[in-house]
A = this chain, B = another copy of it.
């Protein structure tokens, strides 16, 4: 890569950095929504993890429910994949990538992760829908890691 003063990279005048921050905000909102999706399933099914959670609704039970666990697995998959993407993408921004490529990678990752949740925990779609969404997102992160390793070695 051409050597570039980092002051021109970590600035809102850099459309790549600004897009990075924008899609981060979208992804944070998407991850927060998983808590509410879990809560909705818990209330709908009347299942909670702690004794103190059920005092106000005597029909509720402390047990494991498959529909709740499905949402929790989707949330866990977000934790495993989105946080590392955010770290990888921060490094990638500092490699001074092509704005067109970088912004479309942010978009592809974000759309893939939203699709992952939709087909996993909102409307269950047969495989390989979820596998494809997973691999699109992971491929973006792997690409960013590879570029970073080369740039920062």
Contacts and interface: CB of A to CB of B under 8 A. Distances in A.
Contacts of A25: 88, 91, 145, 148-149, 152
Number of copies: 3
A90 B93 CA distance: 15
B91 A52 contact: no
Given A75-B80, A153-B22, A87 B28 contact: yes
Nearest to A50: B70
From A19, A127, A130, A141, residue with most partner B Cβ within 10 Å: A127
B29 A145 contact: yes
Interface of A: 3, 5-7, 10-12, 18-19, 21-22, 24-26, 28-29, 31-32, 34-35, 49-50, 52-53, 55-56, 70, 73, 75, 79-81, 83-84, 86-88, 90-91, 94, 124-127, 130, 134, 138, 141-142, 145, 148-149, 152-153
